[in-house]
Structure 1
Amino acid sequence: MTETRISRRFAAVAAQGRPALVTFVMAGDPDFDTALSIVSALPAAGADVIEIGMPFSDPMADGPAIQAAGLRALHGGQTLVKTIELVRRFRAADAETPIVLMGYYNPIYVYGPERFLTDAKAAGVDGLIVVDLPPEADDELCTPALAAGLNFIRLATPTTDDHRLPRVLANTSGFVYYVSITGITGAAKPDAARVAEAVGRIKRHTSLPVAVGFGVRDAETAREIGRNADGVVVGSAIVQAIAGSLVDGKASPATVAAVTTLVADLARGVAAARAAE
C-alpha cells in the first residue's frame, strides 16, 4: 500500500524519538456535538492517532466503560451514518491527523460493506479495526478495504503464537494493535516486561509499527509501555473521564476539558518514554 496518514504519523513520531499516542473515543458519546468537540480537541491535547468507536449493542471485547459509552451513544441516536458524518466534520478542519474507525462487523454488514468503504474513504477515514473479523474472512472486508486505500489494522494478543501470527499479519497494514492483556478492555494493568517481550516477538515477523492497548490508564503506564512500543493506545480511561464529567447523563461544561486534561497528561507520559535512553 502507498503512504498513508497513518504511516506518515508513525514515521514522524519515530523521528522525534517517541511512541505515538493513540486515543479512543466513542462516536456520539454522550451526544454528537460533544463527541465532535472532543475529537476536534484531541490533536492539540497531544493525540497522534484517533480511534473512533462505532457504537454496537453487543461489543464482546469491550469492558464496562466502553460498553457504557456505546450505549450512551446509541441511546442518543448515534448511527453509522452519523459516525461517518462526524469524521467528515472533523476532517473539514484537520487534514493530517489519522482517523481509525474501530468496532464490530454487524453495523458495517447492515450498512453494506461496499457502501461503507466508499463513504468512509470519502469522509477521510484512514483505517479500520474490526475486531470480530478473523483473517479467514479477509475477503469480506479486509481485502476490499485495502483495495479502497484504507489501512486494515489487525489485533494480536498474548495467545497469538508464532504459528498463528504470520496469518494474522498477512493483510495487516498501518500498524499492528497488540492487546496487552487476555480479556476485555480496561480490565487490568499490563505487565511492561511481558509487553516488551511480545512487541519484540511481533517485530520479528513484521516491519509495521506495533501499538499496545488495553489497560493503559495513566501517564506512568503509558511511559512504561512506550519504552518498547511504537504506539500506546488509551481508551477506557478516556471514556471514563467523559462519564465522570456528565451531569444527569448529559454533557457538562467540564466534559471536553476532562478529556483534554487527561490526554495532555498521557502525552507527557509517552514523550518521556525514551528520555533516559
Structure 2
Amino acid sequence: MPTVTQSSAIPSLGVGTFRLKDDEAYNSVTMALDVGFRHIDTAQIYGNEEAVGRAIKDSGVPREDIYVTTKVWNDKLNKAGFIDSVKESLAKLQLSYVDLLLIHWPSPENGESMEEYLGELRRAKELGLTKAIGISNFTVAQTEQAVRILGDGEIATNQVEVHPYLTNEKVRQACEKLGITVTGYMPFAVGKVLKDDTIIAIADKHGVTAAEVVVAWELAHGLVTIPSSTKRKNLEINFNALSLTLDAEDIAKIDALDCGDRQAAPDFSPQWD
C-alpha cells in the first residue's frame, strides 16, 4: 500500500471537504480514512466540522495518527471572536486540538489589521488549540507581511489554488524562499483538467487515470494537496497517486498547461499575483 510522506509535518496527500455537507461529508471522511488517508481538511465556513468530527471519532483510527486542518472565517478575524470560534470548531470536531489552524482568507469582514488576526492565530497555538498555524489565499506581499509579523518558521503552509491550469508560480516561488510549504487546493480545477488531452495522454502512457497524474504532478512539485471525492473508487485512485512517479517530460508538459484559469475568486479575494 502507498504511504503518505510528511512535508513540514503535513502529510503530503490529504482529503478536502469543501462543499460536502452532513452525511456526504461524514461518508467521504469515513471512506477516506478507511482507504488510508490520514490528513483531513475542513473549515468553519464549510458547515461540516461536526460531520467530519463524527467520522474521525467513529473511524477507530487513533487521534494522533490523523492530521486535521480547519480554517477561521472572515467574520472571526478579530480579538473578540477568534479564539471562541476555534473552541467552537474543536467542540464540533470532538477534538481537544487541531494539527493545523489557518486564516482562511486575508479578508477580515470589519477591516481588522493583519497584526490583530495573526496575533490571535499565534495565541491559539500558545493556548494549545492547534499544533501548527498557517495561512490560505495569501498573495506574495501578504505572505511576506505575515512572516514579518509572526517570524521565520512559524507559518506551516500557505494553502492556495494550484492545478495544471493555474500553477500559481509566483506564490509558490515566494513561499519556497520563505521556507513555507504550499498546499494546493482544487487540484482538478472542478474536473476541468481531468478532460485535458495532454493529461489523458500521460495517463495512458503510465496506464493510470488522469486524476492520478494530476495528484502525482502536485506531489512531484513538493506540494501538499487535498483532492476531494464522495466516491470510494475515486478516493482510492487519488491515494494511489502516491505510487506514481512522473518523468521530467511529463511534468514539463503539465506545467505548460497553465492558463490562469482560477476557480476560487470570491468578491473579497485579494489582488492576485
TM-score (norm 2): 0.58
Alignment partners' CA distance in 2, 1:154 and 1:204: 16
Alignment partners' CA distance in 2, 1:48 and 1:118: 18
Alignment partners' CA distance in 2, 1:45 and 1:167: 39
Asked which structure has the greater RCO (Cα within 8 Å, sep 6+), the reply is 1
Alignment partners' CA distance in 1, 2:29 and 2:103: 20
1:254-269 aligned within 5 A: 258=231, 260-269=232-241
Is structure 2 residue 116 aligned with structure 1 residue 137? yes
1:186-205 aligned within 5 A: 189-191=163-165, 194-195=167-168, 198-205=171-178
Runs of 4+ in 1 over 6 A off after TM superposition: none
CA contact (8 A) 2:136 2:159 kept: yes
Match of 2:217 in 1: 224
Secondary structure of residue in 1 paired with 2:42: strand
Cα deviation digits, residues 83-116 of structure 1 (max 9, x gap) = 5853762576332110112352447949934743
Paired-residue identity, %: 9
Segment drifting more, 262-271 vs 111-120: 111-120
Distance of aligned partners of 1:102 and 1:156 in 2 relative to their CA distance in 1, 3 Å threshold: closer
1:154-165 aligned within 5 A: 154-156=135-137, 160-161=139-140, 163-165=141-143
Q: Which residue type is aligned with residue 229 of structure 1?
A: G
How far off is 1:11 after superposition?
5.7
Secondary structure of residue in 2 paired with 1:127: strand
Match of 1:102 in 2: 71
Alignment partners' CA distance in 2, 1:9 and 1:212: 15
Alignment partners' CA distance in 2, 1:115 and 1:230: 29
Match of 1:178 among 150, 160, 165: 160
Distance of aligned partners of 1:230 and 1:30 in 2 relative to their CA distance in 1, 3 Å threshold: same
How far off is 1:40 after superposition?
2.8
How far off is 1:261 after superposition?
1.4
Match of 1:51 among 24, 37, 41: 41
CA contact (8 A) 1:88 1:123 kept: no
CA contact (8 A) 2:161 2:184 kept: yes
Match of 1:253 in 2: none
CA contact (8 A) 1:28 1:35 kept: yes
Alignment root-mean-square deviation, CA: 3.9
Alignment partners' CA distance in 1, 2:8 and 2:169: 20
1:227-242 aligned within 5 A: 227-235=220-228, 238=229, 242=230
CA contact (8 A) 2:134 2:158 kept: yes
**Unmatched 5+ stretches in structure 2:** 108-113, 192-210, 252-273
Secondary structure of residue in 2 paired with 1:204: helix
Match of 2:7 in 1: 10
CA contact (8 A) 2:216 2:244 kept: yes
Q: How many residues align?
A: 207
Is structure 2 residue 10 aligned with structure 1 residue 38? no
**Unmatched 5+ stretches in structure 1:** 1-7, 14-18, 57-69, 181-188, 243-257
Q: Which residue type is aligned with residue 116 of structure 2?
A: A
Cα deviation digits, residues 118-156 of structure 1 (max 9, x gap) = 746944422223313563332563122121231222124
How far off is 1:232 after superposition?
1.5
How far off is 1:204 after superposition?
0.8
Is structure 2 residue 144 aligned with structure 1 residue 152? no
